[in-house]
Amino acid sequence: MAKIIVLSQPVADKIAAGEVVERPAAVVKELVENSIDAGASEITVEIKNGGITYISVSDNGKGIPSEELETAFLRHATSKIKQIEDLFEINTMGFRGEALASIAAVSSVSVVSRTKEEESGTCMKVKHGKVLEKEEVVCNYGTTMVVENLFSNVPARMKFLKKDSTEGGYITDILSRIALSSPDISFRYILDGKEVFSTSGDGKLKNAILSIYGIEHARALYEVDYTEHGIRVFGAAGKAELARGNRTRQTLIVNGRYIKNHVVSKVVEEAYRNILMTSKFPFFVLNINLSPGLVDVNVHPAKTEIKFANEKEVYGIVNAAIKNAIYSTQKAEQEKNALGSQLTYSNSAPSSKENVDEKIVREFMERTIPSKNVGGYFFKEPKNYDHSQDKGAFSENGLFDQGAEITFNLGDSLKKEDPQIKNDGVLNASENVKEDFPPIIETLDKSSENAVGTKVVGQLFGTFIIAEKGNDAFIIDQHAAHERKRFEILKEDYLKKRAKGQQLLVPIVIDADMMEIQTVLDNQDFLKDIGFFMEEFGKGSVIIRETPFIGDEEEIKALALEVIAALIENCPMGVLSFEERILDMISCRYAIKANKRLNMLEMEGLIRDVEELEAKGIFTCPHGRPIKISFSKKDLEKGFKRIV
Ligand code: ADP
Ligand code: MG
């Protein structure tokens, strides 16, 4: 066995450094938090190569006195606590006095700093923990830290870093959260020479949200501000249209520090229960301010997880704060609408006290949003498209089904009121059905029996198809059946690399953050293989030019965001591989929804699809839920006690 030895200081430092700074984003976080602690009102962050080769953080804070520069880089050097009791009342960001020492142990750092009291500034260079030089320089008040070639002396850690673009994405993420935590500080963030965002520092959260997430977000917010028992919950929560399929746009800030807490997310989501579907997560930037003694921030070494002393009380107040915000905004909007219908507005110019927020929003719009064409989205045929293969047709919403043998036959002539429509054999069991179009005129006796002898009986709740065959009866889940059919087609196209994107005549622009944009750029080939063509489109947006299918704009937007989020996560889901998971997202968005009235031909088409799937041994939707429930005449006879 190896002998027990005491590690040399440089080795111990490198190990400890790895715990504090595991990746470039952690370095950025520590440096920016130091700038905030130094009282800066302006902070500029510049990054190259995902922060691996270059990170620069400049601030106009109080500076580090020249004679204290070396001390600042010593382990456990901090100006923020002196004794252990201080830990419980700490209000600053960092207090372990480890960051600078750790960063300097694994990189080359140059610091330039000057306090208000000093005539001139000082520049000091430290490489792998050793001070190389220190000299007087001419500079402004404040501090600039430049960290170069991170982990150049720790190859093992270097290996764990991801692509530059991914590391850059982590930095963008953490910096966005910090900027949202401090709307009173102006942040400027430059990545590889391009400005990603810059916040005004005017103290308004809404404006910070505008700079970081874009206009759609700034426009659709509930303002939150609620205090109970000395606990204040404030910030912004997104209206339903901002909700996404993941929690990446939820930011929780406790006493000014960005942290993660799953329970708070759940509690907020609970408040949205009646507004959002279960798979949707609301956007929010929420601050909780409470006595620092009631929070233990040191649970996690990276300080991104915390514990509340009085959890239940805090959660209750958060929930009330959100419900209150949603309710009062909705009420105010209702009242405004009611008033609007009674009053006629004069056409006068906006008052001199034009809302600052609105002005910023307008300017932003002029700068970034291309004027949108009016009109829908059209299908453009792929080159060399062979019409003789046409089996599908267009539906009203532009849905085109090339492979599935479902006929959407919705000529205008069919939209007319026709007494026969009511005679189509469809069971009208629910009032809640979205009647997008009247069912096609088709009577039961004419043709509802397909080649294999399955007869459609009707549709139940706009969601299930009832069919019979000989002495057996079936209930088919229309969405599950169509989703599976689509999934099989997409999978085959994907495997044979023959998926063709449908070109949008009017492309769709979506708000996207740096991480999302980079993910799109990094995954062009994969996206093409599933039928998407997206590109970066100016600052903070992605333009969708080709989609796997033509559909409703909101649906396409949601699908694109969902796919990008999955690419960021890059993991399988349940029974599905990563690729299958993405293909299923497309199938699910494409497939006929529940609560959609189908006509006889559509139902017959679906029944044929189900039979085809069954012939291949497929009986479930991609997630494993059944497509069909069967029962026999005998089962019914038994149930009704006709037989025993
Ligand atoms: P901590 O922040 O936990 O105290 P750090 O290693 O991050 O430890 O920083 C050590 C000390 O260096 C801080 O306590 C602070 O006094 C000083 N310092 C670091 N960065 C700055 C800055 N940007 N402006 C002013 N002082 C700074
Ligand atoms: Mg610090």
Q: Average model confidence (pLDDT) for the chain? A: 79
Please give the number of the atom of ligand 1 that sits closest to the Cα of 96.
Answer: 3
CA-closest residue to ligand 1 atom 20: 34
| pLDDT interval class at 293 (50, 70, 90) | confident
Ligand 1 midpoint to CA 58 (Å): 13
Q: Which of 46-60, 307-321, 358-372 has the highest mean pLDDT?
A: 46-60
Q: In degrees, to the nearest 5, what angle opens at C-alpha 484 toward C-alphas 483 and 487?
A: 85
Q: What percentage of residues in the chain have a pLDDT greater than 70?
A: 73
CA-closest residue to ligand 1 atom 12: 72
Binding site membership of 610 for ligand 1 (Cβ less than 6 Å):
no
Ligand 1 midpoint to CA 60 (Å): 14
20, 30, 31, 34: which to mutate for ligand 1, most atoms within 8 A of CB? Answer: 34
What is the arithmetic mean of pLDDT over 559-567?
90
Ligand 1 midpoint to CA 34 (Å): 5
pLDDT for residue 624 is more than 50: yes
pLDDT for the residue 301: 53
Structure tokens at 533: 């063509």
Binding site membership of 21 for ligand 1 (Cβ less than 6 Å):
no
- Torsion angle of the four alpha carbons 172, 177, 179, 182, in this order, in degrees rounded to the nearest 10: -160
Cα(105)–Cα(99) distance, integer angstroms = 10
Strand partners, 244: 281
What backbone torsions phi and psi does residue 238 show, to the nearest 5 degrees? -80, 145
pLDDT for residue 422 is more than 60: no
pLDDT for the residue 79: 65
Give tens-digit pLDDT for 440-460: 323 334 444 454 588 999 999
Structure tokens at 495: 């495997």
CA-closest residue to ligand 1 atom 21: 34
Structure tokens at 192: 């590889």
pLDDT for the residue 393: 35
Structure tokens at 103: 């960063």
CA-closest residue to ligand 1 atom 16: 79
Ligand 1 midpoint to CA 101 (Å): 10
Q: Which of 156-165, 321-330, 434-443 has the highest mean pLDDT?
A: 321-330
Binding site membership of 114 for ligand 1 (Cβ less than 6 Å):
no
Give tens-digit pLDDT for 76-110: 666 665 544 444 444 444 446 678 988 999 999 99
Ligand 1 midpoint to CA 145 (Å): 11
Please give the number of the atom of ligand 1 that sits closest to the Cα of 92.
Answer: 2
Please give the number of the atom of ligand 1 that sits closest to the Cα of 95.
Answer: 3
Give tens-digit pLDDT for 374-383: 322 222 333 3
Please give the number of the atom of ligand 1 that sits closest to the Cα of 99.
Answer: 6
Binding site membership of 97 for ligand 1 (Cβ less than 6 Å):
yes
What is the arithmetic mean of pLDDT over 336-361?
48
Ligand 1 midpoint to CA 113 (Å): 12
Residue 459 to residues 46, 150, 589, 603, Cα–Cα distance (Å): 60, 63, 21, 8
Binding site membership of 102 for ligand 1 (Cβ less than 6 Å):
no
Q: How many other C-beta atoms lie within 10 A of the C-beta of residue 227? A: 12
Specify the 3-state DSSP secondary structure of 236.
strand
What backbone torsions phi and psi does residue 129 show, to the nearest 5 degrees? 90, -5
Give tens-digit pLDDT for 132-160: 999 999 999 999 999 999 999 988 888 88
What is the arithmetic mean of pLDDT over 29-37?
94
Cα(30)–Cα(119) distance, integer angstroms = 28
Ligand 2 midpoint to CA 134 (Å): 21
| pLDDT interval class at 16 (50, 70, 90) | low
Q: Which of 10-14, 191-195, 476-480 has the lowest mean pLDDT?
A: 10-14
Cα(15)–Cα(32) distance, integer angstroms = 23
Is 618 within 8 Å of 488 (Cβ atoms)?
A: yes
Ligand 2 midpoint to CA 29 (Å): 9
pLDDT for residue 205 is more than 90: yes
Residue 505 to residues 402, 523, 546, 629, Cα–Cα distance (Å): 19, 23, 9, 42
Cα(247)–Cα(237) distance, integer angstroms = 13
Structure tokens at 315: 């959660």
pLDDT for residue 538 is more than 90: no
Q: In degrees, to the nearest 5, what angle opens at C-alpha 543 toward C-alphas 538 and 549?
A: 175
Ligand 2 midpoint to CA 125 (Å): 18
Is 418 within 8 Å of 443 (Cβ atoms)?
A: no
Binding site membership of 65 for ligand 1 (Cβ less than 6 Å):
no
CA-closest residue to ligand 1 atom 13: 78
Cα(417)–Cα(412) distance, integer angstroms = 11
CA-closest residue to ligand 1 atom 4: 78
| pLDDT interval class at 418 (50, 70, 90) | very low
Q: Cα 498 from chain centroid?
A: 29
What is the arithmetic mean of pLDDT over 307-320?
89
Q: What percentage of residues in the chain have a pLDDT greater than 90?
A: 48
Q: Which long-range contacts (CB under 8 A, 24 or more apart) does 155-164 make?
A: 157/18, 157/22, 157/106, 160/22, 160/23, 161/23, 161/24, 161/50, 161/52, 162/50, 163/50, 163/522, 164/49, 164/50, 164/52
pLDDT for the residue 358: 53
Classify burial at 535, counting beta carbons within 10 Å of its beta carbon; exposed 0-12, middle 13-18, buried 19 or more. Answer: middle
Identity of residue 26: A
Ligand nearest to the CA of 40: 1
Could you please report the per-residue DSSP string of 502-546? EEEEEEEEEE--HHHHHHHHHTHHHHHHTT-EEEE-STTEEEEEE
Identity of residue 641: K
CA-closest residue to ligand 1 atom 2: 94
Q: In degrees, to the nearest 5, what angle opens at C-alpha 310 toward C-alphas 306 and 315?
A: 80
Lay out the sheet containing 257-259: strands in order across: 221-228, 231-238, 284-289, 250-254, 257-259
Instruction: Name every residue whose Cβ is closer than 8 Å to that of residue 197 and which is 6 or more positions away in sequence.
Output: 176, 179, 187, 188, 189, 211, 212, 539, 540
CA-closest residue to ligand 1 atom 7: 99
Stated pTM of the model: 0.61
Ligand nearest to the CA of 32: 1
Give tens-digit pLDDT for 478-529: 999 999 999 999 999 998 888 888 888 889 999 888 888 888 998 999 999 9
| pLDDT interval class at 304 (50, 70, 90) | low
Torsion sign, CA atoms 343, 348, 349, 351? negative
